[in-house]
Chains A and B, each alone.
Chain A
Amino acid sequence: MLSQSLRARLLMAPALLWLTAFMVVPCLLILALGFFRRGIYGGVDYTFTFENFRLLADPLYLGIFLHSARVAGTATLIAVVVGYAAAYAIAGAPRRWQGMLLFLAVLPFWSNYLIRTYAWIVLLNREGLITQGLRMLGYEGEPPSMLYTEGAVIVGLVYNYLPFVILACYAPLSRLNPELAEASRDLGAGAFTTFRRVVLPQTLAGVAAGAVFVFVLSIGNFITPALLGGGKFQMVGNLVYAQFLTANDWPFGAALSMVLIAIMMVLLMAQAWGTAKGMGERNG
């Protein structure tokens, strides 16, 4: 007889093997790459150096990191507010409609990311659908410049990651016992206080999951800034992309990637820890 824990470990083995081969090893390779020099004609010169990591502290690159964090943070904030409101509305709709509404909310997800992003170009273009719509309403002046702005990048990120937030927030909202909100009203709380003190605290795990998701995917994103930001707004993702594919500086690209991965790990671990703590409190 195999012991219970040994059997559990054996069952997990294929998944762990997969993760090791295709996640851990490549990450370690990239990490290692970050400690070498760039070859004179591209390629890698295998002499050890801290230079790449020192370069990260350069105001130019630090600025790009901070800018990326601000754009990703803004997108996260908007996506969480809009996504939570949408999830709240869906969870409050009649039961038989909820499945359909959720399906509609995630529908854009089934189309290609690039196509979805191009659709925004069609909309935001100087002579795009929005401008044409304004013209039809009698607008005569200069077309508004919407494409290739930071706003356009944020809109693109929010649009693409909103379904994650809706799904993450819908789960705890739909499980919430509606009598809890009623009990709060009964004890003298108004609608807003009931939301703030009873509904929101019990759905925070969903908010955190959605927020980490949007932030992590946004800060490393390079397609949306490239297409909707028009290359003017370089984000970390674009920088990494450029190091590997145009500047041919793999070691520096590797160092940049490591920082991104580290940010993700910290956020994901904080979120997992927070969720586990919340569950621990509940289970005593």
Chain B
Amino acid sequence: MTVLLNIDAVTKRFGAVMAVDRLSLDIYENEFFALLGASGSGKTTLLRMLAGFEMPEEGAIRLDGADVARVPPNKRPVNLMFQSYALFPHMTVEGNIAYGLEMERLGRGEIAARVGEIMEKTQLSALAKRKPDQLSGGQKQRVALARALVKRPRLLLLDEPLGALDKKLRAAMQLELKRLQHEVGITFIVVTHDQEEALVMADRIAILKDGRLVQVGSPHEVYEAPASRYAADFIGVTNFVEDGGRVLAIRPERIALFPEAADRKVEGRVVARAYHGLDLMLHVATAMSAQPLIVRVTAAGADRRPVAEGDMVTIGWNDADVRIFTD
């Protein structure tokens, strides 16, 4: 794998706020990379530095080996899809998409061909003559994406690209984005605050907190082997149990209900049941922790042995499924 982008000890302050704090990260060619973090963790600031709208105070940003930290946005082979989409309201869909190619002074024929091709790929052909105000949220999102993709950048940055869509459309677009990325062969960095979205879409995920990296790894790594208590809490649902200065972390799906064999067994009372369709979350109050432990039971399992609120149950897990943090 070749490194496309090398972010080297980059720092950005806004007054007293450390928006990005000596952050280093390598992104590989053709990767679908997700930047995940709570609101205010510095995701947008990092993207804006990569696009050229903010200048890092310290550190280097190397694209294909060359430092671009001081190259203006219109001179970088990088495009940003804005969180607000930032479509030009006075131009048609077609006009919006062609704009970036007109800036490259390509011939009319080539512009028309490339605009047509990308509209085909993003299912916008029928909307070519519309203005942004005549589009739905999902359509606007696709225009913003097409407008950036048509430039064929080395690197495409997407700031919360699905943030404004409703849940069902989001799920469809997550797969759509991934399909498009494969098809065009462009490296994507997607910012999101939705951990599930990051898990579904990305080849690798970076978790950001207060402008610093908490963990970088594949979805499987960050989910199954979170590097810190913060990472474990941020990605998915985790039960934390204090255990003599240590913290045990265990995922709800790793706790068994009425286990036959388990390294650790504990009695508890069901204080709440939350039905999620595919599965059921039981909140079980035990003597082990102040918070009830969350246990995930499949719908099929729940049918076999129904439990109600107030029931006493036995739960258990294996030591191999527990992660131990000392912070």
> Is A193 in contact with B103, judged by CB distance below 8 angstroms?
yes
| Chain B residue with Cβ nearest A180 | B86
Interface size class of A (residues with CB under 8 A): 20 to 34
> Is B79 in contact with A185, judged by CB distance below 8 angstroms?
no
> Is B90 in contact with A188, judged by CB distance below 8 angstroms?
no
> How many angstroms between the C-alpha atoms of A282 and B53 in the bound complex?
29
| Chain A residue with Cβ nearest B151 | A187
> Is A177 in contact with B86, judged by CB distance below 8 angstroms?
yes
> Is B51 in contact with A186, judged by CB distance below 8 angstroms?
yes
- The reply on A142 being an interface residue by CB < 8 A is no
- The reply on A43 being an interface residue by CB < 8 A is no
Query: Quick one: given A182-B53, A282-B131, A284-B131, are A188 and B104 in contact (CB under 8 Å)?
Result: yes
A180: chain B residues at CB < 8 Å are 86, 88-89
| Chain B residue with Cβ nearest A187 | B100
- The reply on A283 being an interface residue by CB < 8 A is yes
A283: chain B residues at CB < 8 Å are 133
Query: Quick one: given A201-B90, A281-B131, A283-B133, are A185 and B84 in contact (CB under 8 Å)?
Result: no
> Is A188 in contact with B133, judged by CB distance below 8 angstroms?
no
A78: chain B residues at CB < 8 Å are none
> Is A189 in contact with B88, judged by CB distance below 8 angstroms?
no
- The reply on A183 being an interface residue by CB < 8 A is yes
> Is A182 in contact with B82, judged by CB distance below 8 angstroms?
yes
> How many angstroms between the C-alpha atoms of A47 and B72 in the bound complex?
75
Query: Quick one: given A180-B88, A182-B86, A198-B88, are A187 and B134 in contact (CB under 8 Å)?
Result: no
B79: chain A residues at CB < 8 Å are 186-187
| Chain A residue with Cβ nearest B48 | A182
- The reply on A58 being an interface residue by CB < 8 A is no
A186: chain B residues at CB < 8 Å are 51-53, 73-74, 79-80
CB-contacts of B201-224 with A (<8 A):
none
Query: Quick one: given A281-B131, A284-B133, are A187 and B90 in contact (CB under 8 Å)?
Result: no
How far in angstroms is the closest Cβ of chain A from B75? 8
Query: Quick one: given A184-B99, A187-B99, A187-B147, are A202 and B89 in contact (CB under 8 Å)?
Result: yes
How far in angstroms is the closest Cβ of chain B from A165? 21
How far in angstroms is the closest Cβ of chain B from A31? 40
> Is B82 in contact with A179, judged by CB distance below 8 angstroms?
yes
Chain B 175-188 near chain A by CB (<8 Å), digits 1 or 0: 00000000000000
A189: chain B residues at CB < 8 Å are 74, 99, 103
- The reply on A108 being an interface residue by CB < 8 A is no
CB-contacts of B57-76 with A (<8 A):
72-74
> How many angstroms between the C-alpha atoms of A35 and B282 in the bound complex?
93
Residue in B73, B87, B133 whose CB lies within 8 Å of A182: B73
User: How many B residues have CB within 8 A of the partner chain?
Assistant: 25
A99: chain B residues at CB < 8 Å are none
| Chain B residue with Cβ nearest A176 | B89
Contacts across chains A and B counted by CB atoms under 8 Å: 62
Residue in B74, B87, B89 whose CB lies within 8 Å of A188: B74
- The reply on A144 being an interface residue by CB < 8 A is no
B51: chain A residues at CB < 8 Å are 186
- The reply on A190 being an interface residue by CB < 8 A is yes
| Chain A residue with Cβ nearest B100 | A187
> Is A183 in contact with B134, judged by CB distance below 8 angstroms?
no
B99: chain A residues at CB < 8 Å are 184, 187, 189, 197
> How many angstroms between the C-alpha atoms of A177 and B88 in the bound complex?
10
Residue in A177, A179, A188, A282 whose CB lies within 8 Å of B103: A188
| Chain A residue with Cβ nearest B95 | A197
| Chain B residue with Cβ nearest A188 | B103
How far in angstroms is the closest Cβ of chain A from B105? 9
> Is B134 in contact with A284, judged by CB distance below 8 angstroms?
yes
> Is B89 in contact with A282, judged by CB distance below 8 angstroms?
yes
Chain A 1-20 near chain B by CB (<8 Å), digits 1 or 0: 00000000000000000000
> Is B90 in contact with A202, judged by CB distance below 8 angstroms?
yes
> How many angstroms between the C-alpha atoms of A225 and B74 in the bound complex?
49
B151: chain A residues at CB < 8 Å are 187-188
> How many angstroms between the C-alpha atoms of A180 and B79 in the bound complex?
14
> Is A177 in contact with B84, judged by CB distance below 8 angstroms?
yes
How far in angstroms is the closest Cβ of chain A from B172? 25
A193: chain B residues at CB < 8 Å are 103
> How many angstroms between the C-alpha atoms of A198 and B91 in the bound complex?
9
> How many angstroms between the C-alpha atoms of A187 and B150 in the bound complex?
10
Chain A 151-189 near chain B by CB (<8 Å), digits 1 or 0: 000000000000000000000000001011011111111
A202: chain B residues at CB < 8 Å are 89-90
| Listed residue (B80, B86, B131) with the most chain A CB atoms within 10 angstroms of its CB | B86
Further contacts, 6 of them, CB under 8 A, given A177-B86, A187-B74: A179-B84, A184-B99, A188-B74, A189-B99, A190-B74, A202-B90
